[in-house]
Structure 1
């Protein structure tokens, strides 16, 4: 199950500029920003909302 979940996350298309926005605005490491963005389905706004609501 975990492998399937990781494969689905890896398949999500993400934009490098979006990763940089999260790194800069939320002061997160690039790896964490990428994971958050993938979990949000590549949606920058949703990723930022998820981060601010946690």
Structure 2
């Protein structure tokens, strides 16, 4: 699930991707009064490649 940092608005958008990763739909917007112009977001997780054959 990708996240998009919206710097000037002090919020983070969380998106769902379709199966072909061709479109994204906004799932929710994360806001917090402690945000002070966030500039970087990182989420580390394990990813397994699936061979479509």
TM-score bracket relative to the smaller structure: under 0.3
TM-score by length of 2: 0.23
**Which protein has the bigger strand share?**
2
**Would you tell me which structure has more helix in proportion to its own residues?**
1
**TM-score (norm. length: structure 1):** 0.23
Q: Which has the larger radius of gyration?
A: 2
